Structure 1
């Protein structure tokens, strides 16, 4: 099932969206589990991240890392399935946070976007980008623009021909994204997909 097409008040993005079909997303019922996957996937390719995440899940009964179990598991077991020392600490930080804080879907979804970012970035190892991925792909929040995402930056530089760098680049990106409100999450998904499409086209030749 694909998503309904919308116009972004931006001829460049409208052209991109006209040639790309995005799959629909399903709202999560487990923020804790999704955060674990985001942490484990950080700075890894999609394929490698999936392999390590699945190995991680297999360490636990019913493939579910209950927080009380995860925080007590031997670090060596986590490193053996592919987690770095840092990520081993990060997933345990999340487990401890989940034990002492309510991060159920009902609790989290009652908060606005900024409140969710403020809450979840208290977990060491969970940064703003990680929470933005949760907002877009798990909670289906519609107006998130992860301007610090490397692929988003590369995609915007490419399709809009931006020559700026650093803070000037960020300011320009935010200015462009203002036209996409209140659908910046969807716009971001198109930018990711367009970048992937161009990579595949180059590989084909």
Structure 2
């Protein structure tokens, strides 16, 4: 058994993470809220195995305990550490974000209400892009259903000690081998099926080199990927946010962000993309994180956690 602990730059809120996982379903995670734990299958190199993630220490002294029964090489252990730190943004310092938000009376209350909230990133860019393509113009519930069907069709499976299955996201090679009709039978639209398989084949054939994105600016990455059929600016912005953790993206075409900004800024109607970009100018250089807090405010409002965030809260 391998067990190690990863300190997290405080604050970190497991409760906010749990809330987002409950409202944004991810079929690869099993929540165990009474123990502040998650379970998930990982693929490191060609090995797939189950990992238990336990959050210790609380909001201001967070530690993430990582445990697996799998025997891993030193290189695999290091890759697992790096992947987990990336996914949970363990090294991110939220204090500069909060200081920036405090200068806006509409955003300031969110820093306390949602203290410790941060992104849960995808473990790799291929998975992040496919999940984002699936989510284009779909509600969260149906996007989650389609993702689960893709996992079942083409992903690996590992089982825990009780035989419960945990799905591992399909590789680019596995999706590239699929035919359009296989996804159509799972209720993927014709276009969505084409875009996903085309993207996987582009990755396999090295027409798209995802590791190059690390060396690109946000705008360079947007230009590089939007050359592909079915991938627009919003899709790449989400990839940069949820796949890479880039701090200063503003997905102005996102309907959830439109709803959140209307709520937080108490606007009489939903802002259009131009209005969102105008408001978001003052959020730089932390537009990704502020977008996350605005999304969460709207989600919490819909869940009935409070009446409405306000400058007097």
Q: By how many angstroms is 1:121 displaced?
A: 1.0
Is 46-55 or 177-186 further displaced after alignment?
Answer: 46-55
- Is 1:10–1:180's contact at 8 Å kept on the other side of the alignment? no
**Bigger Rg, structure 1 or 2:** 2
| CA pair 64-136 structure 1, distance change in 2 beyond 3 A | closer
| Pairs within 5 Å for 1:14-93 | 14-21=108-115, 23-25=117-119, 28-60=122-154, 62=156, 63-93=168-198
Question: SS at the partner of 1:201?
Answer: coil
Q: C-alpha distance in 2, partners of 1:121/1:193?
A: 28
* Structure 1 pair 22–76 and aligned structure 2 pair: CA distance change class (3 A): farther
Whether the 8 Å contact between 2:264 and 2:297 is mirrored in structure 1 is no
Does residue 187 (structure 1) correspond to residue 290 (structure 2)? The answer is yes
CA distance in 2 between counterparts of 1:189 and 1:64 reads 24
Aligned CA-pair RMSD:
2.7
More helix by share: 1
Q: Which one has more relative contact order, counting CA pairs under 8 Å at least 6 apart?
A: 1
- Report the CA distance between 1:139 and its aligned residue: 0.6
Between structures 1 and 2, the one with greater strand share = 2
CA contact (8 A) 1:68 1:95 kept: yes
Q: Which runs of 4+ in 1 moved over 4 A?
A: 26-29, 163-166
Q: Residue deviations 1:25-54, cap 9 Å, x none?
A: 355552122111111122223233223212
* TM-score for both structures, normalised by structure 1: 0.84
Q: Which residue pairs with 1:100 in the alignment?
A: 206
**Aligned counterparts of 1:102 and 1:28: Cα–Cα separation in 2:** 19
The alignment covers a number of residue pairs equal to 201
Gap regions ≥5 residues in structure 1? none
SS of alignment partner, residue 38 of structure 1: helix
Residues 78 and 119 of structure 1: CA distance in aligned 2, closer, same or farther (over 3 Å): same
Quick one: distance in 1 between partners of 2:251 and 2:213? 19
Q: Among 174, 178, 192, which residue is 2:277 paired with?
A: 174
CA distance in 2, matches of 1:64, 1:152: 27
The question of whether the paired residues in 2 share the 8 Å contact of 1:155 and 1:192 is answered with: yes
What's 1:158 paired with? 263
What residue number does 2:63 align with?
A: none
* Structure 1 SS opposite 2:291: helix
Query: How far is the alpha carbon of 1:188 from its aligned partner?
Result: 0.3
